[in-house]
Every structure is written in structure tokens, then in C-alpha cells.
Structure 1
């Protein structure tokens, strides 16, 4: 009713016909963005994003109401521009970003000057670098060329997200079904980018969109039976942040169930080789610095409390009960063992089952971790949406039959 009353009379009839979820979704996004803006302090990047993005979503809803096609390109582009592009440009111009941007850029400077992105004895919050070594690569342009508009790590993180996700979409289009009626993968990528949980970290300089985009690409390769490539992509994600590591056993179990041990081993070798080659040298260079920065601090086990401290159950347990951190670690260990047993006992047979299993594990970790934040919800949201919106609509796996079992997995999918 709110949207209908705001529209010209000749547009209102469009809202009274068949229910259109794109318009409803855009109005919900506008309300969520405005809520974030109003509840955030006026001097924060979240406030500026919320106020700007709310207008972008509202105008996208108006365009969707005018369109006769659901989930069309026009509203998607408008939503992306209003919720991600405009806030990103404005925040860059006023030099305001999430703390992660400074962490990545400082890690790159340390990498070039000292050979490691980590301080051996960090003291304050700003001294810590909780990311794995690969993340510092996004700060190299800033370290080399100084503080310029295009050198900010936030731009390179956004570029990494877009390149990876659109590459996955291009792969889907190339390998996909030719059945009429399937939406272009690039269009669904735009709609996923417009989601507030994605647009917000993209605009303010979050690092998680790039990591989860690599996970989506890895699952795409796994769905196609390209096990070695899936392993390399997942290894690249694992070289950026710990949040990517739970995907490795899930994808390996999925490939073993669908294609046999050889496919699982190809994925494992690719992932382990890439990630260990990126991480182990820095463990050897400075083991104490690596332990303090990458293990103790992000898991809430350091003497310095992590800034990732949303009031989720794990944080509340860790701060409210005696030996609370030990309790949360025990709960996380129990959950990890349970998920691991489920992968052995009943491995996922398709890509939706695989992403759902990973989503469950990540959701439990987000809830129970002593240092976590609500923004990590980008992982379950994208991992739930990606196979349903793109993979299964665009790539139709063949049902394996008796004559099909001897063919390579990449041909059977």
C-alpha cells in the first residue's frame, strides 16, 4: 500500500494483479537499509550507506512496478547503482571506510617492507591483522602508489568480487542448458549484488564478499565435475580468510560421492597445494606473529578483544560465564565433529545439498563463535541463493544411468 500510494495513477494497476516478489523484495530492502542508516551513528559509513541505499532501493521498486517483467534488468541495475556504486564512490571521496580497509593496506605495507603482513607483538586492535596472507594482495596498489582514489583496497576488493562472480556466471552461461526461459546468469548476479547483505560490505570496504564469491565459483566448478579447478579456487579462498576453510571438506565429500575418490583427491591436492603454499611460508617466517594475529585474535582467544563482537550467543557465553571462551570452543568443536561425521555418513549428492550442509556449518560457527558479527550472514545468504538461482536454472545435470556411470563426471553433469 505504501508503494502503491506513492505511484502515479497509471502505474497503480500493476500492483493489483499477480503478486510480484521483486517489488516486494526491493521495498523490504529499502526499509532494511533505512533502518541501518537510522540506527547507526551519523559519522559512520553504515549511516551514509543506509540513507543512500534506501533511496536506491525505492527507485528500483518504482522501476520494477513500471516493468511488465519480473526480476528485470532495469530494477536490478538501479538497485546495484543506488545501494553499492553511489555509496562506494561517496565514501571513497570523504575517505570513510570499514576498519578492514586499513588492515589490508597496512598488511600490504608490512609485507613489502618486512616480508610478512603480521606484527610479531601486536598491542592494540589496529595492530592486528586477522586475515590470511593472500588478503594483503588487495592492499598492494596502496602500498606502492600511496593514498590515491584508485589505490584504496576497497576498490580492489569490489573488483575481485565482481570479476569472480561474473566469471562464474560466464562459466554457467557457457556450460549451461539451452532451454528457453532460463534467465541470463549475469542478471541473477546483479540481483544478488543488490542484496543489502552484499551491497553494504561492498560499499564500506568489507572483505567477505570476495571470499564468498570464490566459494560460489568453487561450487560451480564442483557442480560441473571440474574437481581440480574447484580445488584451486577453494584454495585461493582459503588463502584469504579462515571462513573459507569449512568449504573444503564439504566439496571434497560431494565430489567423492558423485565422481569417486579420484575427483575428491584432485580437489584436495589443488586446494591444499594452493592454500598451504600461500600460508606456510609466513608461519615459518614469524610463527608467533601468525599465531597472535590469525589464530588467537579472530577466534576471540587473544587478550585483546576482537572488534567482531555482535551480541550473538557465542559472544554472550564467552563474556557472561566463567570459562566462557572454553565453553564456546568446546561447542564449536562438537559442532565441527558432528558436521564431519555427517559428511562421512551421508555425503551430499548434489550441489544444493552440499551448499546447504556448508551453510548449516557456517551458521552454527557464526552463532557460537566468541568473536563474530551479524555481517557474516553474507555467507549463508549467498551460498543458499547461488545454486538455486543460477546453477540449477542454467545447468541441468544429467541423471546418471547404468550406461552413464563409466563416463567422466564432467560429462555426466
Structure 2
């Protein structure tokens, strides 16, 4: 047992070095097979950083891991994000979010009534416009407003805040972090995952999915700790960003029901639904038609504009066969969602890791079978599954309280009186 644990220790220099080398290969190869220029520029900055991190991980037993993590953060996150923000290099999603913030500030709705092209479509719910408000307020004048107004910076800040809150929520009642499988506990593992291509690439080039990921994971963490109101508030915020967050309400409710009973599940779901309605209603009431066409019809490939999400996934391939193929993909999508719902009833999740896996499985089914999708969407369920293992601990989410056992001295036997005659 001791030998087995030693081989799986996350402090192993070889393990960290191998991980950074894999990240370097990903950063070098992925930009070569992808079209967007921001992806290629990110690979130019991230690949050398990962190689330096791999060398640093082997250089020192005491500080090598920490040095390697921060080298990766600097080269894969800080430097490319700052350069992209200052030069205006970004995917189209960043411009969409910043325009929606400007429209919300001026007209109280993030949707154009009659978009002239696909670039003017806003496929997000009204809550996403919050991350575009800094650009609307600060403008583009000068390098500092250009940096502070970038929507990616605030998306990254929201993601980091959610991770910090989830880490606080996952701590035991005595203030110490719970033990995770294999001993993967510590900030280095979490920061290292943020510096990995799974998070660093979308953070630098787009960033719009990070707040959703962070809020969903925070809701699961609160539900695992039996905090239904906090879980519902996090879910409400997530559900106001994208409609793809709505299936998480069922997973969180199932987790709350298993951990604390039906009453806590109802409370959490009611807070989530009520809060989402309050956050989405202003934009929905002002622009009901544009919201339906741009948020629901457009991502499903049924709007008047062709969606750029055209990766060769099963649902997309079926939809490309014509109307019959589209309806077949939609039917498979509904069947997959029904199967996940049945699994929640038949075998509800018992902890954070199990709930994150169930939500990740449902999202994978949705992204794979949707009539329009892209490979980048799969980073969201992957991040949920990994973060649950880094922060959530093992199978027992509620550790048994430590009971101090006190030694009880043996009872003293009372002296037997001896008759005076027998002395």
C-alpha cells in the first residue's frame, strides 16, 4: 500500500513534467490545425512556457512544482491575455459580448431588432451583457481602458472568484480541505489546471464559457455542502448567461434531495428558477422576438443566419442531411436528455464528484447530438469533471466528525468490610 501511494503522489516531479510536456505538444500542434489567428498566436506564447515549466518541474524537489506552475501561468495566460487585450486580438464572441453590454447600457436590451449579418447576432441570454459593460463605460481610448474594458478580463475574474468560493465551500468544518482521491489537494493543482490548455486557451481567445463553468461548479459545491439557497443563487446567475446551464438545475436538485431531503431540493430549485426569471425577464420583455430567434433558434441551426458552430459532430452531420436529419438529431438530443433525467431519479448523485460527472455527461450528450456544435464546447464538461476531483475530495463528501476517545479508568471496587471477629 505504501508503494502504491508513493507512485500516485501528485508531488512527483516526473508526473508534473509529463503533464507540461503534453501541454506543450497540444499548444504546438493545435494552432497548426485550427483556423482562427488568436489560437495560433496563443500557441506561440504557450508552447515555450510549457517547456520551461517541464524543465522547472524536474529541477528542484522543493520549489520545482510551484515554479513550473507559475511559469505556465505567465506564458499561457498572463502574457497572451494582456497582449490580446491591448491589440484587440480575439474571437468574435468577445466583440459580441462587448456590443451587448453597450446595447444594454443604451437600450436596456442586448439584442438588435434586425441584425444585418451573423456578426450582429447575440446568442446569449441577457446576463452575459454584464461582462461587456466595462467596455461600454470605459470605451477604447488608451491602453489602460482597452485592457480594463476587455470582456475576457472580467470573465476570467468571475471564473477565479467562483473557484475561490468553491474552494472555501469544499473545506471541512474544521477549516481544513477535504482529502481528494490520490492526495490531489493543494493550490498548485488548481492553478496548474487553470494554466493548462483546457482553460488557458479559451480564457485568452474568448472567455465567454468560463463564467458559466465557474458558476455551475460553484452551485454543485454549495449543493454538496447542503446550502440550497447559495446553490440556487449560483444557478440563477449561470442560467441567465446561457440556456445550456438549465439542465444543471435538475442535477443540483437531485444532489440536494439526496443530501438533505426534498425540502432542500425544492428550495434550491425555486431560488434558481425564480432568480433566473428575474434576471432574464427585462431583456425578454423588451425584445421577445429577437431573443427567441437569436438565443434559441440560431444555435440550433434554425435561424435565418448560418451558425459558425459547424464541427463534424454527430448531431451536425445528421442535420446536414436535410430536414429529416435535423429532426433525427433533435430526437436523439431529447432522448439523451431523458436518459440523463431518468438516471438522476433512479440513482441520484451522492456527492460533488458524482454530480459533476453526471452534469458533464449530460452536457457531452447535448453538445455531441445538437444540430450545431463545436469541439470547443466539450471543454466545459471536462473542466467540471476535473475541478470536482481537485476540489471536491473523495467519495465521502461529509467526513465523519472526529470524536476524541478518552480512556476510562477501571471502576474501583469498594472494600469489603471484615467482621471484627475475623481480624
TM-score exceeds 0.5: yes
What does residue 47 of structure 2 align with? 54
Structure 1 unaligned spans of 5+: 1-17, 401-413
1:187-206 equivalent positions in 2, closer than 5 A: 187-206=188-207
How far off is 1:200 after superposition? 0.3
How far off is 1:183 after superposition? 6.2
Distance 1:174 1:348 in 2: 20
After superposition, what is the alpha-carbon deviation per residue over 1:342-382, rounded to whole angstroms, capped at 9, x for unaligned? 21222112222211111111111111111211111221211
Matched, 1:151 2:149: yes
What does residue 376 of structure 1 align with? 377
What does residue 226 of structure 1 align with? 227
What does residue 129 of structure 1 align with? 122
What does residue 134 of structure 2 align with? 141
What does residue 242 of structure 1 align with? 243
Distance 1:339 1:394 in 2: 21
Asked if the contact 1:107/1:139 (under 8 Å) is kept, the reply is yes
How far off is 1:319 after superposition? 1.1
Aligned length: 382
Distance 2:184 2:62 in 1: 12
Distance 1:70 1:255 in 2: 41
What does residue 313 of structure 1 align with? 314
After superposition, what is the alpha-carbon deviation per residue over 1:199-238, rounded to whole angstroms, capped at 9, x for unaligned? 0011112201111011111111111111110111111111
Query: So what's the TM-score if we normalise by structure 2?
Result: 0.85
Asked if the contact 2:353/2:395 (under 8 Å) is kept, the reply is no
How far off is 1:111 after superposition? 1.0
Distance 1:374 1:206 in 2: 15
Query: So what's the TM-score if we normalise by structure 1?
Result: 0.87
After superposition, what is the alpha-carbon deviation per residue over 1:15-65, rounded to whole angstroms, capped at 9, x for unaligned? xxx782211111011000111222345x71011001111111111111111
How far off is 1:189 after superposition? 2.3
How far off is 1:275 after superposition? 0.7
What does residue 37 of structure 1 align with? 31
Q: Output the aligned Cα RMSD.
A: 2.3
Distance 1:179 1:229 in 2: 20
Distance 1:174 1:129 in 2: 41
Which aligned segments of 4 or more residues in structure 1 are displaced greater than 4 angstroms? 173-176, 178-185, 393-396
Asked if the contact 1:101/1:205 (under 8 Å) is kept, the reply is yes
How far off is 1:177 after superposition? 3.6
Inter-CA distance 301–177: structure 2 relative to 1 (3 Å threshold): same
Distance 1:321 1:35 in 2: 34
Asked if the contact 1:177/1:395 (under 8 Å) is kept, the reply is no
Distance 2:178 2:107 in 1: 55
Inter-CA distance 69–300: structure 2 relative to 1 (3 Å threshold): farther
How far off is 1:87 after superposition? 0.9
